[in-house]
Structure 1
Amino acid sequence: MFKTLFTAIATLSLGSTALAEEKKADSMEEKNWSLVIHGGAGVIKRERITAEKDAEVRAALNRALEAGSAILAQGGTSMDAVEAAVVVLEDDPNFNAGRGSVFTYKGRNEMDAAFMDGETREAGAVAGSTTTKNPIKLARAVKDESPHVLLSRDGANEFAVLRGLEQAGPQWFATDERYRQLEELKARQTGKDGDKVSYFDIDMKYGTVGAVAVDQGGNVAAGTSTGGLTGKRWGRIGDSPIIGAGTYADNRACAISATGAGEYYIRLGVAHEICARMRFKGEDAKTAADKVMEELGELGGTGGVIVAAPDGTFAWSFNTPGMYRGKANSAGVKMVGIYGDEE
């Protein structure tokens, strides 16, 4: 009798231990999170960047990682982490987004942004925003508080005021360096007015910023913000605010933010294409990103992408000499990079 009782108690104890271990494993699994950011891709080489500028960019990337990581580590959402990381980069004049956005041909700062939730696939975007301090917040407000996906120009500005978002004058966005770049571009133009080459940034100084994240619940989100191309004309809009081109998020595959020659990203539908390869071909994030970037290059496009998947894996891919970028996760990974040989 005692032996039978002991056996029963032991079995119950082992069962309880197994259940506790299972719950512990589930808890540990739920705590996985990851964050990837970018600050633009292009002709970024060591010989072209001063030590001071190198340090400034790395410091900004680290601040953005810390802002997003703090939210994810505390169990916050991927959406909040993406917004926090992008806001840091928008506020730093080293990047072409928010403060420090490039000038249009007429000397204005016109900004685009997009935000997407991978759980619901709800999205918001703005194009040609000129008065909202942080365009990424406006894009998220469009997603959360309007029945629309994409607002533009005066309408986007009006909506921002109605939603109580912080506004800023032209002096906040404009910097002397960006104006110098506009003047240099105009001086170097070789095409006639209206010709394709006359309004593209010859030096390919893409400084678009973006972030993708997966939170402890396995939900992904993506956000992208940009000032566009130096010297852009005629209300040009690139890929950043186009859902499926420069920004996309879907819990069934991944979250993506892109930077580069927007016209090519739009034509190829880069962000959605990467998601589709992961969903339907079973490719991992790195493989899918590399394949699509290879196809982009074949069309003549340049730039890069960052990717985060619900299982916590992440990747980046670019076909330019460098890309401002950074990554962090719950396993302790944390790094920022600028040049092509940094991993």
Structure 2
Amino acid sequence: MKRRDFLKVTAAGAATAAVASPAIAQSSPEIKWRLTSSFPKSLDTIYGGAELMAKQVAEMTDNKFQIQVFAAGEVVPGLQALDATSNGTVEMCHTATYYYVGKDPTFAIYAAVPFGLNARMQNSWWYQGGGDKLANEFFKKHGVIGHPCGNTGTQMGGWFRKEIKSVADLSGLKMRIGGIAGQVLAKLGVVPQQLAGGDIYPSLEKGTIDAAEWIGPYDDEKLGFNKVAPYYYYPGFWEGGLVVHSLTNLEKWNSLPKNYQAILANANANANTLMAARYDLQNPGALKRLVAGGTQLRPYSNEILEAALKATNELWAEISAKNADFKKSIEAMQAYRGDEYLWWQVAEYTFDSFQIRSRTRG
């Protein structure tokens, strides 16, 4: 290469570098956001989903994008997380969207509804089956965009002061139960109470409520419910796989550079997977400890499950008749559930059932 040509190439390279460096810098600005959680710090697994997500966002941006996580009550009460995000008080929240059925029952479908999807089906519907598009089309109306940032798996059916053998035993029972599931149980005679996690124990202890559901053995043990209610029922048919979302103010999301959007979305997806893994690790040991300590483990009777399913289908029809968003979403979810259980019946359920029977035989 001639010296003159070499100098031209070198100069061009330097010019390109001079243009590229500022472009890279501009695409990686320093950003500090706040996130309010609906959960207390003491519940390290569910609260920890937001912390894990924020930590990974910081690591993947060399600490240029920082999200400070606040527990329920530190900025706003846990059940006001959505409002604080949509009105710009904070940029993000970490919450269960079924807390906001008072605004619109459609919120519940993307968290968990009675006889809905299990955790793997939730992920399949969201990431592959179009659930993300349906959800964010709806969330947009409330000024936010959502990403799954955790899943509890199938939950337990709650703690009761007295044994529940039939539908008649539910009549007049004051029960803490979140979201739209309370409307289903109301059809069976339950008087639903919506309380944040930190308020459940004192209410149960004082007898303000007769029963309460939260998540499962690991968290329930931490909250001490076994000390004030002896009967522990399963399954939590209203939460086959609770999706915990991070919701981001839509204007703030749109203002992010595309690489930051990708980083935030991937950090959420990783936290979503790891929360489920942590619950699967922690729940068995906690359940053993609870039973060893005197907890009375009980299954819901088929009578109660069948009555609850009937009440659920009635409620979906009632809401769908007057809410087009709900109708569109619940029908899409139910269609997806039908195909998924076709597969589950062939492979997953058959395999798991055999494994469980083998375990009980020793």
TM-score by length of 1: 0.26
Whose strand fraction is larger, Structure 1's or Structure 2's?
A: 1
Larger radius of gyration: 2
TM-score if structure 2 supplies the norm length?
0.25
